[in-house]
Structure 1
Amino acid sequence: MTYVPIPVAMLELGKPLPVDVWDPQGKLLLRKGQPILSEQHKEMLNAHQACMTESDAKAWQRSYERMIHTMLRDGADVETIARASMPAEIWETDYVVGTEVLGGWLDLQEILRGLLYQGEAAITPLQRLEGIEKKALELLKSDPDEALFILFQALADISLGYCATHALLSAVVCELTAEKLGLPEDARRVLFRSALVMNIGMARAQDSLTRQSSILNDGQKKLIREHPQIGAEILQGFGVADEDQLDIVRWHHELDESRGLARNLENRRILRTADGFVAKMAPRKTRLAMSPLGAAKSVFLGSATTSEKLGAAMATSVGFYPPGTYVQLVNGEKAVAVARGSRANNPHVVSIVTPGNMPMSNYLYRDITNPQFAIRSPVNAENIKIKVSQEKVMKARMERPG
């Protein structure tokens, strides 16, 4: 029998447990349906290395993900979700769900967010991460422009939670850039999976900070400094033995390039640059999001720590106006980029707002090489007051030439 550790820290006092609790040798500690009565009771379970069967672990994790989805649907804020304990009920259907990760980018975002929130208490994390990585790479290969569109749109929506969107988008930017630079596939795979978990050491705090209007306190500053090391330790606790992944996560913020393994230097540079680029484009309570063009100039065109070759590769891979971000045209219309063009400053765009600031009932593809439809300036997502219809975007996108 295979046993999986129970996330004792995420158990709520007084709630019945939906699984039998065992020790690693198979001795029954608690029957299903019994509650945790006190903090001392939790300490006792920790002391006995409380476990559950692998099938119970997978089902309980599925129940947790469903609970998080319901909370989001019902409008719960990120801080409430971050404090959520493990659910007290497991459905029968939770036991028969396949191991493959299904759905699209927002489904992946939801699954990854649950894992990052659990941190060191995550259930069967390596299997789940493998499924997320496999599905994300399939979706990215199928349509890179759609991947960027959905994830940049999600980045502007704080209600979805920031940590998982940041991780997925950073991973996508890393993969596109590394491929442009000609890195071998095995190096790109370790870079991709490192990006997915680089901030696992502060995932809940990362989401809370996007909503915080006050300045960082000393504890938060300390966590930001130390989260790469914490993240590497969490991954080691999961059973990650890949020295390269641990090295990339541990040093992904480090500017002193003499630290860490020399063979991972290029991967660490790519991840650090992608991480900064995505972060600058994310909205905060304390500031507006930076435009993609501004973020590009700040991070990989104007930075002394980013090589010209890396900056050019990332700019070409993502564009100065990536899919999912907004621009204003010379004729006054506001448009959303839907695909990258032949050059970084030449995206395919679809107009969604009239010059009079009215939402268009039918979105219109615009050729920006036509002077009247040329890009005048980038537009922050906060200044777009409509909800963009992906169905209308895809329909207009199909009308583009070529």
Structure 2
Amino acid sequence: MKLIPLSADLLQSQPFLPFGVYAEDGRMLLPAHAPLGDARVRARLGQQRSLFAQAADYNAWRRGMAQAVQGLLNDNAPLKQLAQVRPDMVRAEIPRQPGEEWEAMVLALDKVLQGADAAKPWIGRMQALRAQCRTMVARRMDEALFHLIYTGGSRTSHHSSRQALRCMLMAGEAALALGWDEERRLLLDHAALTMNAAAWRLHDQLARQVGGIDDPQQRALIASHPADGERLLRDSGVTDEHWLSAVRLHHDDALAGQPLEALDAGQAAASLLRRVDRYSAMLSRRIGREPLSATAAAQQACLGADGRPDPLGALMLKAVGLYPPGCFVALASNERGIVLARGERANQPLVAALVNAEGMVMAEPRLRDTSRPGLAVRTALSPSQIPVDPPLDKLQVLRGWLK
């Protein structure tokens, strides 16, 4: 993502901007079309030394503004009208960014959970957001997984909300494979989105913190956050005991190895979330720690003592794929690329090849069906083993071919 600096004058003169505003480290500070006249928005932006935009978006907007002005000149418009050219006159010039709506969901969840307080109606807002997310992913699950896994491996911003949504979707796919009914899947969704509610800010901080957890207070908060989360939910009006126990037990090692059918609904949800949470976190970037490849993450989170997937690990990998969307892989053809979607089999995803067999970056990504001879996945890769950022706009076109 190439960023260029924004002029402070631009932010003062426009009611909104038709592109996102970013910090220097790539964190999105403001989504496209957010009102710049809002005092809270101005205060948030004022805390940053410098503000940036994606170069492609900014340049497209500038071209559109120039075209709007030229059109008025051609019509002999008065100077007053020329001075009133607004961003909404050229909104169509700014293409919708791939993943924009998924990132908006990340930001919305972050806003809800950052304000989790027993005195506020945050539970209802979280439930409404969950319902909206489920509507969005009903036919676009691979696209959602791609965004959450790829951005989780390339960014440290909004770690907690990204992790919560990833866990909700991954655990939900496993629950479908298990044949859980709608009531149990709803319980699982609620627990996934709230299991870290009591340590939301701390988890975000740790993702950007160099080194391990050396502060005793941080260690204590990490250790107590499942019980603290249950207490926060209960104080906020949650009465579903299975939801409460799922949050309280989501780090409980005593559940490891126990068959899900031997557990009640809350315990089973906690056991599944415990596994998904660990696997998903290993696919995520932290300051000073690169995300693991899909294979390495599976080895640490899904294999038993004998080096083979245990029943729960095998189920999870079957549900999300050995190489989930958003992960990088090398093919038997010696090409390297990124997984776009799951295939018919867990080890046969659909891949966008980005680097050719000679190690050269491809001008245009090419769709590869790894179930075909000579195109099988040879190994999973970490992001550092791919010498190019995936061209998300071109990948969106390839994804359209899969529908």
Same fold flag (TM > 0.5): yes
Larger CA deviation: 279-288 vs 342-351 = 279-288
Q: Following TM superposition, where does structure 1 have runs of at least 4 consecutive aligned residues deviating by more than 4 angstroms? A: none
| 1:89 and 2:39 are equivalent in the alignment | yes
Q: Secondary structure at the match of 1:337?
A: strand
| 1:239 and 2:237 are equivalent in the alignment | yes
Partner residue of 2:251? 253
Q: Secondary structure at the match of 2:367?
A: strand
Contact 2:349–2:371 (Cα < 8 Å) also in 1:
no
- After superposition, the Cα gap between the structure-2 partners of 1:236 and 1:382, relative to the gap in structure 1 and judged at 3 Å, is farther
Q: Secondary structure at the match of 1:376?
A: strand
Contact 2:207–2:285 (Cα < 8 Å) also in 1:
yes
- After superposition, the Cα gap between the structure-2 partners of 1:337 and 1:288, relative to the gap in structure 1 and judged at 3 Å, is same
- After superposition, the Cα gap between the structure-2 partners of 1:143 and 1:307, relative to the gap in structure 1 and judged at 3 Å, is same
Q: Distance in 1 between matches of 2:358 and 2:299?
A: 31
Which residues of 2 match residues 379-390 of structure 1 at below 5 A?
Answer: 379-390=381-392
Which residues of 2 match residues 166-205 of structure 1 at below 5 A?
Answer: 166-205=163-202
* C-alpha distance after superposition, 1:9-65 (max 9, x if no partner): xxxxxxxxxxxxxxxxxxxxxxxxxxxxxxxxxxxxxxxxxxxxxxxxxxxxxxxxx
Q: Distance in 2 between matches of 1:196 and 1:366?
A: 34
Partner residue of 2:56? none
Match for residue 152 of structure 2 among 137, 151, 155 = 155
Partner residue of 1:312? 314
Q: Which amino acid aligns with 2:312?
A: L
Q: Which amino acid aligns with 1:73?
A: Y
Partner residue of 1:26? none
Q: Distance in 2 between matches of 1:239 and 1:76?
A: 38
Partner residue of 1:104? 101
Q: Distance in 1 between matches of 2:137 and 2:401?
A: 22
Partner residue of 1:294? 296
Contact 1:282–1:289 (Cα < 8 Å) also in 2:
yes
**Structure 1 residues not aligned, in runs of 5+:** 1-66, 82-86, 92-102
Q: CA deviation at 1:122?
A: 8.0
Q: Secondary structure at the match of 2:117?
A: helix
Partner residue of 1:58? none
Q: Secondary structure at the match of 1:119?
A: coil
Q: Which amino acid aligns with 1:246?
A: L
Q: Distance in 2 between matches of 1:232 and 1:75?
A: 37
Which residues of 2 match residues 45-60 of structure 1 at below 5 A?
Answer: none
Q: Which amino acid aligns with 2:378?
A: R
* C-alpha distance after superposition, 1:111-134 (max 9, x if no partner): 111222233278531221022110
- TM-score scaled to structure 1, two decimals? 0.70
- TM-score scaled to structure 2, two decimals? 0.70
Match for residue 323 of structure 1 among 303, 325, 346 = 325
Q: Which amino acid aligns with 1:180?
A: A
Q: Distance in 2 between matches of 1:373 and 1:134?
A: 38
Q: Distance in 1 between matches of 2:400 and 2:126?
A: 34
Aligned-CA RMSD value:
3.2
Q: Secondary structure at the match of 2:340?
A: strand
Partner residue of 1:334? 336
Q: CA deviation at 1:164?
A: 0.5
How many equivalent pairs are there?
A: 315
Q: Distance in 2 between matches of 1:173 and 1:278?
A: 9
Q: Secondary structure at the match of 1:365?
A: strand
Partner residue of 1:268? 270
* C-alpha distance after superposition, 1:193-215 (max 9, x if no partner): 11011111111111121222223
Q: Secondary structure at the match of 1:372?
A: coil
**Structure 2 residues not aligned, in runs of 5+:** 1-15, 31-36, 42-99, 257-262
- After superposition, the Cα gap between the structure-2 partners of 1:178 and 1:355, relative to the gap in structure 1 and judged at 3 Å, is same
Contact 2:156–2:286 (Cα < 8 Å) also in 1:
no
Q: Which amino acid aligns with 2:182?
A: E
Q: CA deviation at 1:245?
A: 1.1
